[in-house]
Amino acid sequence: MNARALLLLVATLLISGTVVWRLTGAAPAEASSGDRRAQLDQAQLDRVARGKYIVTSSGCHDCHTPMKMGDKGPQPDMTRMLSGHPEQLKLPPAPAAQGIWGISASLTMTAWSGPWGTSFVANITPDAETGLGKWTEDNFVKTIRNGRHMGSGRLILPPMPIPAFVNFSDDDLKSIFAYLQSVPAVKNRVPAPLAPVAVQ
């Protein structure tokens, strides 16, 4: 086979490959790899969007974002979005329960007192020291499933609606975690819960 015939054969094969690719949609390996990356990125974006929808429609801001007084009354302080009980807010002891009125809350809606003691709403931003920055997706899912801190620690206390949140699917919980990892990190060390005061 002379050089001209060889060149003609190579050109024919290249053109045929291009036609097959265009007709079948089969992209070269490098493009397929890029497409897969784009699909993974889009899947992650979709998961974060789903998590944001669940967080914003399930009342998470009602407690995890401190409330502040605005011109229309109490409203979430979005400069501290999902950062939990403000560490600089020092509270006096919770008021004593009176009959059926056995639960009280701070005006920020981030500290709650009842028969379980006093609980302070967690920082669920991705801050590595004070939030969920060191948590894994597995820690988060197990926390909701088991009702225990990081899946195996102390009990998660009211007002966290664990009995409602256990009804989320694993995919929902993973989406919530993905969204929480995407929000701005806020350094805010929330106090540990306080045991109930013994009745005298």
* Domain-located, residue 167: yes
- The pLDDT value recorded for residue 74 is 86
* Domain-located, residue 32: no
* Domain-located, residue 19: no
With tokens 């709650």, the residue in question is: 112
| 75-131 tens-digit pLDDT | 999 999 999 999 999 999 888 877 888 899 999 999 999 999 999 999 999 999 999
CB atoms within 10 A of CB 126: 19
Confidence (pTM) = 0.78
* Domain-located, residue 126: yes
Does 199 have pLDDT greater than 90?
no
Q: What is the DSSP letter of 94?
A: P
* Domain-located, residue 170: yes
* Domain-located, residue 53: no
* Domain-located, residue 121: yes
| 2-35 tens-digit pLDDT | 555 544 444 444 444 443 444 444 444 454 666 7
Q: Using an 8 Å Cβ cutoff, are 189 and 134 in contact?
A: no
User: How many structural domains is the chain composed of?
Assistant: 1
* Domain-located, residue 10: no
Domain around 113: 60-89+105-180
